[in-house]
């Protein structure tokens, strides 16, 4: 009796460590619409504003459309 089909992986190639998916938590909050989502600038909840934009760097940082509009206005005044 010989066991041929069950060969161990060659030395040097170890299986990758099981790491958690990167943005599962953020996805969950999005799906559940949890109250964690609020503007980091004016602290309004998602339901209180038209749109909430997530930071590209951190899924826990948001800015609402009102703050974006305000900032654009201020920048426009400063630049122009």
For residues 64 and 49, the answer to whether their CB atoms sit within 8 Å is yes
- Kindly state the smallest distance separating residue 56's Cβ from Zn ion, in Å: 17
| CB of 15 or CB of 76, closer to Zn ion | 76
Q: Which residue is nearest to Zn ion (CB)?
A: 39
For residues 54 and 61, the answer to whether their CB atoms sit within 8 Å is yes
| String of contacts with Zn ion for each residue 44-73, x by CB under 5 A | --------------------x--x------
Nearest one of 79, 48, 30, 37 to 66, comparing CA atoms: 48
Task: Please report whether residue 42 would count as binding Zn ion according to CB under 5 A.
Answer: yes
> How far apart, in whole angstroms, are the C-alpha atoms of residue 26 and residue 47?
17
Residue with token string 């938590």: 25
- Kindly state the smallest distance separating residue 64's Cβ from Zn ion, in Å: 3
Residue numbers at the binding site for Zn ion (CB under 5 A): 39, 41-42, 64, 67
């Amino acid at each position: 009796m010989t066991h041929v089909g069950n060969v161990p992986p060659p030395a040097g190639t170890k299986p990758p460590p099981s790491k958690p998916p990167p943005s599962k938590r953020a996805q969950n909050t999005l799906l559940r619409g949890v109250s964690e989502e609020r503007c980091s600038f004016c602290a309004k909840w998602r339901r209180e504003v038209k749109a909430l934009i997530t930071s590209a760097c951190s899924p826990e940082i948001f800015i609402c459309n009102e703050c974006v509009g305000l900032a654009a206005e201020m920048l426009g005044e400063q630049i122009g």
